[in-house]
Chain A
Amino acid sequence: MKAKGAFLPDIVAFCCAQSAYQSADAAGSMRITYPENIRVIRVPCAGRVDVLHILRAFEKGADGVLVLGCHEEACRHLSGNIRAKNRVQRVNTLLQEVGIDGKRVEMFTLAPNQGPRFARIANEVNERIKELGPSPVKSGA
């Protein structure tokens, strides 16, 4: 069970196996730390991340969602990262409609060897979500 007290956001990070997942590994290999409350979910391509996956994550109590894919022009599946970016924008709108701050979902691009960047993004997003507070959907929030 999670310790009571300081708000520790639940953040889901969908990570493309071609890049971001490997950069998360790289962070570990380089012993660069990042908030442990970020749940990495490996996907074959950022283009696999569905609007529904993100919405369901919020239903399950996520406070923030990250979609991490390959840099533009570097997607093995040509448009997967661009599609992911557009979907994240759509989710921003869908959440806004619900009354949840759209900023709780963000997309970033990385190269597979960018461990430090992964950790930096994880830290920054964690701070931003902390500032936004617990998701208004969460019970007890």
Chain B
Amino acid sequence: MDKDLRLGVFLCDCGGTLSKVTDFSAIKAKLQKLSDVTYVGISHDLCLKRAQQAMQKDIKDKGINRVVVAACSPELHEKDFMNVVQSAGVNRHLLSMANIREQCFWAHPDKDKAAQKAMAQIGMAINRARFLEPVEQTQISVTKEVLIIGGGITGIQAAIELSNLNLKTTLVEKEAALGGKLNRFANLYPVQVSPEEVLATKLKQVAEGQNIYVLTSAELLDVSGEVGNFSARIKRGNGEFVRNFGAIIFATGYTTQFSSQIYGLELSNNIITQSQLEEMLKSSSEVKQIPKSVCFVTDISDEHSRVSPLSALRNALGIKEKFRGEVCVLCQNLKVDGAGLEKLYRDCRNKGVLFIKFDNSPRISKQDGKIKIEVEDVLMSGEQVTLPCDLLVLEETSVPPLDSKVLGSTLYMGLDAQGFYQENNVHLYPTASNREGIFFAGNCHADLDLMQALTDASNVALSAYQLLAQGKIAVEAEKVMVDPNKCRFCLTCIRACPHHAIQEAKVNHEKMVAQIADLACQGCGICAVVCPAKAIKPKDWSDEQILAEFELLGEYV
């Protein structure tokens, strides 16, 4: 605690609306009597520039070194007030806020009680202000290069976009050629361009891109370092090398898996999977026995998957176009939600594809090599329909590529229940991983169709660009700090940090201690709580600040 505390309290009555409920001058008068309070001001619109300029001037003129703002929720304008404080020459972290609007006057209709609570809230903020600590801003220079793992359409698109933004990228693909699923799909409906054409266009862009370095038949082994300066060990052929990157994008996609248990059926020459049909359609001129009637079954293993109904629709249309036979799709609800997919469904119907909706899974049997499907048609009031067919196409489930788990654990990245990469927060940060500087794009973390995957690639490219474009990242130095004298190096925090932001370090080249990487740290404070030596202090949320807030429990100022 500074000995010479000069607290400035700035009250805002929200355009005069709060003054109608309570007497701000009375609050001001009470606050002025508190020790260390140098200045109390009332404003009507602290969220506006003019008022903020006045506030800045007051801070300077009155020599205020701790600022308390009593106004609306800090969720709204805390950053703005920090900027004001900073512009007044005071460290931006020496600000404490009291939420007197949303959590007082708006929430409590009883005026007196609301006013009492507001006084208490301001008192708490003042108490907290006494323990505020400055956090210095510094900059860390970063490697302006992005590593993209996975050379499918998502990875390619992200590379092209980053290249257009003038950031260097290295595109690492496991297989011998780029393209991923584009090499396997027979069509990309509802997109009218063929996969070959899409790939050719994209590959041309990759080749022309000044900043894209393609590594095929290559794999990422492991990664050390932190955001801005990762060093990645990459294997290519028999060789291994290490390169530095500022950010890493995972675009490893998905693979499909057929489980015969769901159907109790083994695959054969006339019972095939979507992937096998895809191959057949891709080389349709070589198909000797053209199937006259084809049935698809979808929605059995996972009704909510995008991959299965979409491939059923795409390939039903593909068959109609290439083989012209009878096509029937057996489905539960055939949920589609992407752009153009409803039209794709209508196109299928217009071309004569028959859709049969079931509640109970169809019974499939084989007689003399012929396939017989019995199903109760829901739309025909459950009437039993028997369908013979030449070719039965069964759905597959999408699963993460084999190496997701290994990479996930070597890189300390979260996986979801199915083993796909898990975003930091699906709503707020949909392409961010739990680690700063590592991003996910495409189907390795979400169930997406082609257009959605491309959008995801653009988003992720922008995120990486934002992070690295300046070549430097502003960082708050030691906003969470380990006291090297108190640290027992028990590894508790290193194990507990959800963002893998704490590592071992040596003090004076000798004693081992935990050290927090400022860039990777996301400020949750978990480390400070688990530390058995109480050696870690989050400067914005220190124990002293939190404890100071309930110093006034049971009393109103």
Contacts and interface: CB of A to CB of B under 8 A. Distances in A.
Direct contact of A and B (CB under 8 A): yes
29 contacts: A1-B556, A2-B556, A12-B550, A12-B553, A22-B75, A24-B103, A25-B75, A27-B102, A27-B107, A28-B101, A28-B103, A28-B107, A31-B107, A33-B108, A34-B107, A36-B114, A40-B99, A41-B546, A41-B550, A45-B524, A45-B526, A47-B524, A47-B529, A51-B529, A57-B553, A77-B498, A79-B496, A87-B529, A138-B554
Nearest to A11: B553
A78 B553 CA distance: 32
Contacts of A105: none
B245 to A, nearest CB: 24
Nearest to A14: B546
Interface in A15-42: 17-18, 21-22, 24-29, 31-34, 36, 39-42
B550 A60 contact: yes
Nearest to A26: B102
Interface of B: 73-75, 99, 101-104, 106-110, 113-114, 116-117, 120, 124, 414, 424-425, 427-429, 434, 496, 498-499, 522-526, 528-530, 538, 540-541, 543, 546-547, 549-551, 553-556
Nearest to B416: A73
Given A28-B101, A40-B103, A44-B538, A60 B551 contact: yes
Nearest to B73: A25
Nearest to A62: B553
Nearest to B534: A52
A2 B554 contact: yes
A12 B547 CA distance: 11
Given A25-B103, A76-B425, A39 B550 contact: yes
Contacts of B74: 42
B96 to A, nearest CB: 11
B15 to A, nearest CB: 16
Contacts of A52: 543
A56 interface: yes
Contacts of B434: 78
B547 A10 contact: no
Contacts of B103: 24-25, 28, 40
Contacts of B554: 2, 10, 60-61, 138
A56 B101 contact: no
Chain A interface residue number, banded: 35 or more
A48 B107 contact: no
A56 B106 contact: no
A53 interface: yes
Nearest to B429: A76
A79 B524 CA distance: 10
A39 B99 CA distance: 11
A83 B499 contact: no
Nearest to A32: B107
A40 B100 CA distance: 12
Nearest to A37: B117
Contacts of B101: 28
A91 to B, nearest CB: 12
A56 B550 contact: yes
A79 B434 CA distance: 11
B424 A50 contact: no
Nearest to B428: A76
Given A36-B116, A41-B550, A79 B541 contact: no
Contacts of A44: 523-525, 538, 540-541
B153 to A, nearest CB: 29
B550 A36 contact: no
A125 interface: no
Interface in A72-91: 74, 76-80, 83, 87
Given A25-B75, A60-B553, A53 B547 contact: yes
A49 interface: yes
A43 interface: yes
B522 A33 contact: no
B116 A48 contact: no
Instruction: Across the A-B interface, give the 6 residue pairs with the lowest CB-CB distance, nearest first.
Output: A48-B525, A28-B102, A28-B106, A77-B524, A28-B107, A78-B498
Nearest to B522: A77
A43 B546 contact: yes
Given A28-B106, A31-B106, A52-B543, A47 B556 contact: no
A79 B526 contact: yes
Contact of B538 (A12, A17, A48, A77): A48
Given A48-B525, A79-B498, A57 B550 contact: yes
A77 B547 CA distance: 23
A5 B424 CA distance: 49
A58 to B, nearest CB: 10
B99 A2 contact: no
A43 B113 CA distance: 25
A50 to B, nearest CB: 5
Nearest to B116: A36
A83 to B, nearest CB: 6
A80 B106 contact: no
A118 to B, nearest CB: 10
A2 B414 CA distance: 49
A53 B543 contact: yes
A32 B102 CA distance: 10
A56 B545 CA distance: 13
A56 to B, nearest CB: 6
Given A10-B553, A56-B550, A50 B529 contact: yes
Contacts of A138: 554
Contacts of A49: 529
Contact of A17 (B75, B107, B114): B75
Contact of B498 (A26, A56, A80): A80
B524 A80 contact: yes
B479 to A, nearest CB: 11
Contacts of A1: 555-556
Interface in A115-135: none
A24 B550 contact: no
Contact of B110 (A12, A36, A42): A36
A32 to B, nearest CB: 7
A56 B529 CA distance: 14
A22 B116 CA distance: 22
A77 B525 CA distance: 10
